């Protein structure tokens, strides 16, 4: 409970001095040319030396971030000869990998579409529901007001994605969303409502209408609550602390036939055979792309992309990641955690060390991040005691604009996150800097959530949904569109899986032939043996910590 050190606290007066003036005069929006210039000069995606072309696999030559290339140019955790594929531990119709929103939605819709719950197996790396989904704060987009339409949602999404989105995926996203809201309501999700029963809807960056639905600032937690309850009610078998580490393929058609699982507690491997496999492993924040801190949960290590790529999936837009503009810059203990965009939706402005606003708070995320990085790099940021940089997010403005008590009512998670560290956001601004937040791209999917090869053909029996899937968000995701995407494509994956099961009369064969081929490629480029993936859990043991452990033990 220590709050700001005195040196930083002194600077708050500059924010307070300009507040009245800023409240009266809205900051101008940037022109398209100004936005492009800012991105090119300051966004990490444009920084030289951070990316390289892949040297192995079906997308050889495709440029991705170095951290992604390291992961894809890495040895598998297993030696294919080590796994006895004649002994099948789990024989199911549908295998779902991951228990965030996408995985749970996929499992449920497979069941709603006719698969018996006991013919589904969900495996997950940590506990059921440990995921980025539970961390989602701000809200979920659905165009369901008379003033809005899915067409406007489409235009915003494609503009926000820098026109690189797959248009048919965006169409699926925006047209399914009003139905998905109805489904969540039927499951019992409690979204914020007006006294007349209509949704409270706020603006998100890059959106031309208010279409963000929220449950205070615990939206993801509320969505996951109802999905998990529905999943448990159906008695679906699931394994915790048992990540998938490799997919299995049938050499006859190259399609997927199951996965190798790894028990994190006992170190045992299991073989799971399935007629349809759904990858829903989420994102990659824990790769700390370009050295940024992250808002992501501990298990976000891009495992699904690694497994999918090794069986021939096309990868898209992995040369671009989302650096959310407002990560926590201070206190150090929660550095990188998210300060939801909803704060800016409700009116909090970004202000430099001199108390000057330098960007409209509701420009798209990539643009706002670039503006913050620029401000700090040019010496107009605030330096924290650990040497991190940040600018102010003027939180008290929210209560001034929307009435006293708004912060505590609409942003209880934010209030608690800071008050624990002695910072009262109803009275004081917070220090913020971009944080690695979202994997814009991933393994390419189509509107049926089928995973595609580079030639556009689906890989038989392999589906993907959620943050692991690429194409829908283009090169920059809009706020509220990820929760939307995981449910829209999770549902579609479940429906396609059920159809695939019906169409697959005989069990596909199990092999790791694709891995043997991949290993040959790794050998040919001389990848060091120590580099392994999927990494499953990040390793934060620096050299100093390791030495200390050696001394202790
Ligand atoms: C702090 C924060 C706030 C956010 N706020 C919003 C918001 O307001 N609105 C919005 O639209 N989006 C938001 N997002 C983004 C959104 O929450 C995520 O993109 C989305 O929830 C991802 O869902 P998912 O199901 O694809 O992945 P996740 O929810 O991350 O689930 C992935 C699951 O896969 C498991 N897993 C991983 N690897 C393996 C493996 N090898 N084997 C088995 N299981 C594995 C994980 O443990 C986890 O259970 C936010 C994200 C964060 C981090």
Structural domains of the chain sorted by starting position, each given as residue range(s) with its CATH number in brackets: 6-30+329-434 (3.90.700.10), 91-320+440-513 (3.50.50.60)
Residue of 95, 99, 131, 337 with the most ligand 1 atoms within 8 Å of its CB, for mutation? 131
Determine how β-strand 315-316 pairs with β-strand 120-123. unpaired
The tens digit of pLDDT for each residue in 243-252 reads 999 999 999 9
> What local confidence, expressed as pLDDT, does residue 396 receive?
98
Beta bridge partners of 463: 278, 450
Ligand 1, CB within 6 Å, residue ranges:
97-103, 123-126, 130-133, 135-140, 219-220, 243-244, 280-283, 295-296, 299-300, 303, 338, 438, 466-468, 479-483, 486, 534
Based on the residue annotation, tell me whether 344 is a catalytic residue of this protein: yes
HSE-CB of 256 using CA atoms within 13 angstroms: 35
| Nearest Cα to Cα of residue 192 among 215, 217, 212 | 215
Based on the residue annotation, tell me whether 437 is a catalytic residue of this protein: no
pLDDT less than 50: residues of the chain: 553
Q: What is the CA(4)–ligand 1 centre distance, in A?
A: 31
8 A C-beta contact, residue 436 and residue 293:
yes
Q: What is the pTM of this model?
A: 0.95
> What local confidence, expressed as pLDDT, does residue 206 receive?
85
Residue of 103, 105, 132 with the most ligand 1 atoms within 8 Å of its CB, for mutation? 132
> What local confidence, expressed as pLDDT, does residue 516 receive?
97
> What local confidence, expressed as pLDDT, does residue 552 receive?
52
The beta strands (E) that lie in 285-354 are given as: 315-316, 321-328, 349-351
Tokens of 53: 């072309």
Residue nearest to atom 3 of ligand 1 (CA): 136
Tokens of 165: 């989105």
> What local confidence, expressed as pLDDT, does residue 106 receive?
99
Tell me which of 324, 335, 437, 450 is the catalytic residue: 324
Residue nearest to atom 53 of ligand 1 (CA): 296
> What local confidence, expressed as pLDDT, does residue 347 receive?
94
Residues 234 and 229: their CA atoms lie apart, in Å, by: 9
> What local confidence, expressed as pLDDT, does residue 203 receive?
84
Whether the link from the prior residue into 331 is cis, omega within 30° of 0, is yes
Determine how β-strand 315-316 pairs with β-strand 442-444. antiparallel
Tell me which of 211, 344, 477, 491 is the catalytic residue: 344
Q: What is the CA(79)–ligand 1 centre distance, in A?
A: 29
CA distance from start to end of the chain: 34
């Amino acid at each position: 409970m220590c709050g700001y050190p005195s040196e930083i606290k002194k600077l708050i007066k500059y924010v307070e001095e300009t507040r009245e003036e800023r409240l009266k005069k809205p900051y101008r929006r940037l022109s398209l040319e100004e936005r492009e210039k800012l991105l090119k000069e300051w966004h990490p995606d444009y920084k030289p030396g951070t990316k390289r072309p892949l040297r192995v696999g079906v997308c050889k030559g495709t440029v991705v971030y170095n951290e992604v290339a390291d992961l894809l140019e890495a040895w598998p955790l297993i030696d294919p000869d080590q796994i006895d594929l004649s002994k099948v531990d789990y024989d199911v119709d549908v295998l779902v990998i991951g228990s965030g929103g996408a995985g749970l939605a996929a499992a449920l819709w497979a069941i709603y579409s006719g698969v018996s719950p006991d013919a589904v197996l969900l495996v997950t790396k940590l506990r059921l529901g440990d995921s980025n989904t539970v961390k989602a704060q701000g809200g979920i987009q659905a165009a369901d007001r008379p003033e809005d339409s899915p067409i406007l949602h489409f235009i915003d999404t494609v503009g926000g994605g820098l026109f690189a989105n797959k248009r048919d995926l965006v169409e699926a996203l925006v047209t399914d969303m009003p139905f998905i809201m109805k489904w969540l309501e039927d499951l019992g999700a409690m979204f914020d409502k007006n006294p007349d029963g209509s949704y409270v809807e706020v603006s998100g960056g890059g959106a031309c209408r208010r279409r963000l639905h929220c449950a205070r600032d615990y939206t993801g937690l509320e969505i996951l609550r109802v999905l998990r309850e529905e999943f448990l009610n159906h008695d679906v078998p699931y394994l915790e602390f048992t990540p998938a580490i490799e997919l299995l393929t049938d050499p006859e058609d190259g399609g997927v036939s199951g996965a190798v699982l790894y028990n994190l507690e006992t170190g045992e491997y299991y073989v799971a055979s399935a007629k349809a496999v759904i990858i829903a492993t989420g994102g990659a924040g824990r790769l700390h792309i370009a050295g940024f801190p992250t808002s992501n949960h501990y298990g976000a290590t891009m495992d699904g992309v690694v497994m999918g790529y090794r069986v021939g999936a096309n990868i898209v837009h992995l040369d671009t990641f989302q650096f959310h503009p407002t990560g926590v810059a201070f206190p150090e203990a929660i550095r990188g955690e998210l300060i939801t965009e909803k704060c800016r939706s409700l009116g909090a402005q970004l202000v430099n060390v001199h108390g000057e606003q330098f960007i409209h708070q509701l420009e798209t995320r990539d643009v706002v991040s670039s503006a913050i990085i620029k401000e700090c790099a040019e010496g107009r940021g605030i330096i924290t005691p650990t040497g991190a940089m940040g600018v102010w997010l003027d939180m008290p403005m929210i209560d001034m604009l929307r009435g006293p008590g708004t912060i505590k009512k609409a942003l209880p998670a934010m209030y608690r996150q800071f008050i624990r560290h002695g910072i009262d956001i109803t009275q004081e601004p917070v220090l913020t800097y971009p944080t690695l937040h979202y994997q814009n791209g991933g393994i390419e999917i189509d509107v049926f959530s089928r995973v595609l090869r580079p030639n556009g053909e689906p890989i038989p029996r392999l589906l993907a949904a959620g943050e692991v899937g690429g194409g829908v968000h283009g090169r920059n995701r809009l706020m509220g569109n990820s929760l939307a995407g995981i449910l829209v494509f999770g549902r579609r994956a479940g429906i396609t899986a059920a159809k695939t099961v019906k169409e697959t009369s005989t069990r596909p064969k199990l092999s790791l032939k694709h891995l043997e081929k991949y290993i040959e490629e790794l050998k040919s480029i001389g990848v060091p043996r120590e580099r392994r993936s999927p990494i499953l859990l990040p390793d934060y043991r620096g050299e100093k910590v390791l030495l200390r452990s050696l001394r202790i033990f």
